[in-house]
């Protein structure tokens, strides 16, 4: 049976490839730091389950130290040449749609067919199928477009180096949210919210939960960190247990409300710093603020829509 551990193994092999290419690149300005950074990520993905809490904690501290001293750096290798990258537009469109399409179809098949239930674990099914979809699309890309054999690893490495240390933020912030949950922060926040707002009507409770998800995400920088805290504080005791809300709808729309906060915070470097880096905008500080200014109006409109959707659909 395919489990999420196999997805981690696939990621580990990918980061190992990035590490080896970096170590073998004499033109890389920080070859050793970069190779060590991606190598440690590979170790985390490949052997994290065997390292235990202490081992993984030390590994995270090592990654942070590398970032603090200036790593992992970025190579000066150019992108694929025009000849290498050339492909009819329809092929690129098909490949771009293939990953989400395979993910949706594969997830439904894994959950509703006997063969799917035998082949794919019922835990974190979507994540497993997403990895399979990426792998199958990559195979199709290699067979159909016939790029150079190392093009996927080379271009993946170039992209990840453009993202840099911000690639670690979602995992670290999600882990921080789990720490907060284990530390009973959710109950503390729930008591503070209950003392400040009278959560005696569904609309007020829904509004406070969605706004709380967005605001906590703005502070934390990631909705995955805000979700366990705000859900334990408001969603579970008030919206679900007290008002009888559908847990799936409440939690799904709550996450979307949190993502609205992601679009409006400088703490979400992976969303709001990375685009400026990858696009090479002229003034990074101005471009960084510009990304948030461009996203904020849409985020506020979507946040209001999420409040209304939860109120009308979850009960």
2 — phi, psi (to 5°)? -85, 125
Which sign, positive or negative, has the C-alpha torsion 51, 54, 57, 61?
negative
pLDDT score for 96: 82
Secondary structure (3-state) at 146 = coil
Report the C-alpha gap between 38 and 15 in whole angstroms. Answer: 6
pLDDT score for 83: 55
pLDDT score for 87: 56
Return the structure tokens found at 275. Answer: 């685009």
> Using 50, 70 and 90 to split pLDDT, how confident is the model at 171?
confident
> Using 50, 70 and 90 to split pLDDT, how confident is the model at 91?
confident
**Radius of gyration (C-alpha) of the chain in whole angstroms:** 22
> Using 50, 70 and 90 to split pLDDT, how confident is the model at 270?
low
Checking if the pLDDT of 184 tops 90, the result is: no
Among 78, 302, 96, smallest CA distance to 211 is for 302
User: Cβ(226)–Cβ(268) under 8 Å?
Assistant: no
> Using 50, 70 and 90 to split pLDDT, how confident is the model at 300?
very high
Among 268, 246, 245, 243, smallest CA distance to 258 is for 268
pLDDT score for 282: 62
- CB atoms < 10 A from the CB of 143, how many? 8
> Using 50, 70 and 90 to split pLDDT, how confident is the model at 160?
confident
pLDDT score for 78: 58
- Mean per-residue pLDDT of the chain: 83
Checking if the pLDDT of 209 tops 60, the result is: yes
Checking if the pLDDT of 214 tops 90, the result is: yes
pLDDT score for 274: 67
> Using 50, 70 and 90 to split pLDDT, how confident is the model at 200?
confident
> Using 50, 70 and 90 to split pLDDT, how confident is the model at 1?
confident
Which residue ranges make up each domain of the chain? 1-78+150-164, 81-146, 184-313
Among 69, 76, 78, smallest CA distance to 27 is for 76
Which tens digit of pLDDT belongs to each residue from 33-75?
Answer: 888 999 999 999 999 888 888 898 899 899 989 988 887 877 7
> Using 50, 70 and 90 to split pLDDT, how confident is the model at 276?
low
Contacts of range 121-126, beta carbons closer than 8 Å, 24 or more positions apart: 121/1, 121/2, 121/3, 121/4, 123/3, 123/4, 124/4
> Using 50, 70 and 90 to split pLDDT, how confident is the model at 269?
low
pLDDT score for 210: 94
Q: 77 or 130: whose pLDDT is higher? A: 130
DSSP state at residue 2: B
pLDDT score for 257: 94
pLDDT score for 84: 52
pLDDT score for 123: 82
The helix-helix angle for 223-230 and 247-262 (nearest 10°) equals 140
3 — phi, psi (to 5°)? -120, 175
Which segment, 18-22, 162-166, 273-277, is predicted with the most confidence on average? 18-22
Q: What angle do CA 208, 214, 215 make, to 5 degrees?
A: 85
pLDDT score for 86: 55
The rounded percent of the chain whose pLDDT value lies above 70 is 87
Which tens digit of pLDDT belongs to each residue from 229-245?
Answer: 888 888 998 999 999 99
């Amino acid at each position: 049976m395919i489990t999420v551990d196999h997805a981690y193994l696939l990621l580990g092999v990918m980061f190992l490839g990035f590490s080896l290419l970096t170590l073998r690149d004499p033109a890389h300005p920080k070859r050793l730091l970069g190779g060590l950074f991606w190598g440690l990520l590979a170790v985390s993905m490949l052997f994290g389950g065997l390292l235990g809490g202490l081992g993984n904690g030390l590994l995270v501290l090592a990654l942070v130290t590398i970032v603090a001293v200036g790593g992992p750096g970025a190579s000066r290798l150019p992108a694929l040449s025009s000849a290498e990258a050339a492909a009819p537009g329809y092929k690129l469109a098909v490949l771009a749609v293939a990953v989400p399409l395979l993910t949706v179809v594969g997830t439904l098949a894994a959950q509703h067919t006997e063969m799917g239930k035998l082949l794919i674990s019922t835990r974190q099914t979507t994540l497993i199928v997403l990895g399979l979809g990426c792998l199958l699309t990559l195979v199709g890309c290699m067979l159909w477009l016939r790029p150079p054999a190392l093009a996927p690893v080379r271009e993946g490495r170039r992209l990840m180096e453009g993202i840099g240390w911000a690639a670690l933020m979602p995992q670290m912030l999600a882990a921080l949210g789990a720490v907060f949950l284990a530390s009973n922060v959710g109950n503390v926040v729930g008591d503070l919210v209950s003392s400040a707002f009278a959560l005696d009507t569904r609309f007020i409770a829904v509004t406070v939960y969605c706004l709380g998800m967005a605001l906590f995400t703005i502070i934390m920088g990631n909705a995955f960190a805000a979700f366990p805290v705000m859900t334990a504080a408001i969603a579970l005791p008030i919206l679900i247990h007290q008002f009888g809300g559908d847990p799936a709808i409440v939690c799904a729309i709550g996450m979307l409300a949190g993502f609205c906060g992601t679009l409006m915070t400088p703490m979400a470097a992976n969303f709001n710093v990375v685009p400026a880096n990858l696009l090479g905008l002229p003034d990074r500080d101005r471009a960084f603020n510009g990304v948030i200014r461009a996203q904020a109006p849409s985020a506020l409109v979507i946040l209001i829509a999420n409040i209304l959707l939860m109120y009308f659909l979850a009960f």
